[in-house]
A and B are shown apart, each in its own frame.
Chain A
Amino acid sequence: MPKKTPEINASSTADIAFLLLAFFLATTTMNVDSGLYRRLPPYQPDNTEAPKYAKRNILQILVNRDNQISINGDIADVSTLKDRTIEFILNPNNSEELPQKEIKTIELFGPVEVSKGIVSLKSDKGTSYEMYIAVQDQLTAAYNELRNMKSNEKWGKNFDQLTQEQQDAVKLVIPMQISEAEPTNIGGKK
């Protein structure tokens, strides 16, 4: 009778596995990148002229190098920016001062009023990035709220619960029109 090979002691596999586990635990970074998504406009050579818009269709936001904000010429606080933007796009009383609306036919919605409003954002080279993000954040918040409003009106759901098709339609009804002007360099700082 052949001699039986003795069984290999497997009690140490647990230790080995623990060791590997500890290594992966230590090296894991679970944080997912997050941020504010934007699409830049295509590059245009310097000599092309900027398109002209009626004054009422533009919400002008300036941020200077001391991180102060002005909205249409009045100094304002960042926290008011969201409500100003929402009012600007909605134009609830069809005021002469606020943007025009045009009737567009959009799939799933039929003919709807789409605001012609454009947010124009101009910063200085000395503006801090933190301030810039705070402004962008407020603008995003405003547009998100508008889209949620539209979605609730139509389907009774929030924007992010809609199907892709519905989301695309809402995006057409409330287009995110943020135009960024070239920054000025008044401060002389880099």
Chain B
Amino acid sequence: MAKFKKDGKKETPAISTASLPDIVFMLLFFFMVATTMREVSLMVSNAMPQATQTVKLEKKSLVSNIYIGKPTDAYQGAYGTEPRIQLNDRFATLQELGAFIAAEREARKEEDRNSITNNLKVDRNVTMGIVTDIKQELRKANSLRVNYGSVKKAK
């Protein structure tokens, strides 16, 4: 009679983890490429208003950010609660805006200088006075492309 021979105990081989580093590295590279580090630390409150018709800002390198809002708690002692302008890492006055625009232009390649978009990141509780002043300064500096930063609202 034929006998089906059974091997007593057959252990399942351990799953090889040799490719685990490769998989993790792949993920790592994805995040490294997709990451944009926040280049400035916010000193003003920045809850942006909502809008339905927002468009994405393309070409990050051609965007210069202007933050407007109430200073955060840490800075209220020194700067008060009136809305202020933040450029890069410090508070700025309206008069400094022209120099900022010039510096932003200087930092770009010559052929890109006229396509810089000013991204106005304005807190929703700010009143229009300061925003209009800034728009006026931008017009004087002949930097006319403006994006009113807002968050996409679900319809």
A-B contacts, CB under 8 A, total: 158
B42 at the A interface (CB under 8 A): no
Q: Which residues of B contact A153 (CB under 8 A)?
A: none
Shortest distance between the CB of B136 and any CB in chain A (Å) = 8
Shortest distance between the CB of B67 and any CB in chain A (Å) = 12
A33 at the B interface (CB under 8 A): yes
- Point out the residue from B56, B126, B138 that lies within 8 Å of A32, measured CB to CB: B56
The number of chain B residues with a CB under 8 A from chain A is 56
- Point out the residue from A10, A130, A140 that lies within 8 Å of B21, measured CB to CB: A10
| Assembled-state Cα–Cα distance A130/B120 (Å) | 13
The stretch from B24-32, B73-81, B86-94, B104-112 touching chain A is B24-32
B125 and A43: CB pair below 8 A? no
The number of chain A residues with a CB under 8 A from chain B is 48
A contact face: mostly helix, strand, loop, or mixed: mixed
B63 at the A interface (CB under 8 A): yes
Q: Which residues of A contact B50 (CB under 8 A)?
A: 133
Q: Which residues of A contact B136 (CB under 8 A)?
A: 43
**A126-B127, A183-B132 as given contacts; A35 in contact with B147, CB under 8 Å:** yes
Chosen A-B contacts, 9 in total, with CB atoms closer than 8 Å, are A14-B17, A17-B21, A36-B150, A37-B147, A40-B135, A42-B142, A125-B127, A125-B132, A183-B129
